[in-house]
Structure 1
């Protein structure tokens, strides 16, 4: 969404757009006049977001289980046939299943990798193919986590393999960025790595994290907008943001 692209109709595809960070991003971009297509299983929640739109944009919904390749392919086909080429892809969908690794069922471990890593990889693949075919000046945002870079010194148990999936995302972003450069595509890729965010995502940790400082979903959405609004020649590769504890002096 740089100045050079401001005269082009912007279309943003956002995964996991029904709640939390994804919903905040969808509303923020639509209020900037961008056409937003939200993918999630609960499409009625995406549709309700239009009640928060005061700008000229609109949010469209498409039901999609982002842990299943056939669902992702169907959603991208719908977008390809219904809208102009997407200029923004935001890979936001993810899950956390709280448990000790020593007690995590194999299905839970597989589910985490299927959505957080495999689902994200397939969305990146399809988004890149679409932008490459249409020769789009595009921008890809991948929602990572501080846990994709380091494990906090203050131990919060029950992370299971979630940090491992996010470390995979960190490596994936670096690999895809090299691929974009090798193929000479005019596509930026930004990884957003927030710390703890006050959303329903943390409900399983309500006691353990009750007193810890937290970001708001809107803080993360504003970081996304910052990356999108940089000039064409500026690529913000990584944004790491943490909530600060406030102290009485």
Structure 2
């Protein structure tokens, strides 16, 4: 049996409430679809959800303390995320909590802060076919996935993508209009692991695709804490481990 991981799926939950066409695709919300897919693919995940309009955005210190991996979907309300919540999420990532940033979360406050760049890109919404090519087949996030994932309709994201060079790249996308995009990127920050995964525009049923669900479940396992917690401190160590100057 796999280790039981505690996962939170966070979502703005604005498009689904405000737009009927989006609600038809995700009647329970994008977060619910992602959570259901994770539990389907990996029953040993303990998955809960949180949304923007809950107190503290559903991400209190106590709840984050119990979280192993946080999934983040955001788009239209990045600016409404309180800096205090961003601070505590950043602290937990540096301590070892995993973060999986999805689709438009490239512009989320927490993602830009952890990467330290603008995270800008080009985009077009035109019902295009997307192929996510596996460029690192030995990576744990690619386990059980064929040479590519093909999505009949998605929003295009294109280069240049204003991110630091990934520590590991798992997927690269090709779009029907000709663009390519670094769509599956891994980073290490402090003691934590971060995975950015591009697919998931709210107008398309991307999160119901079996291969997408498999990639997300794999990402949860990859991003899980490894080793002990890293504590952010800068102590003045006055007592050396070895006597200084005695062996000279």
Task: With the length of structure 1 as denominator, give the TM-score of the two structures.
Answer: 0.36
Task: With the length of structure 2 as denominator, give the TM-score of the two structures.
Answer: 0.36
Q: Between Structure 1 and Structure 2, which shows a larger proportion of helix residues?
A: 1
Q: Between Structure 1 and Structure 2, which shows a larger proportion of strand residues?
A: 2
Larger radius of gyration: 2
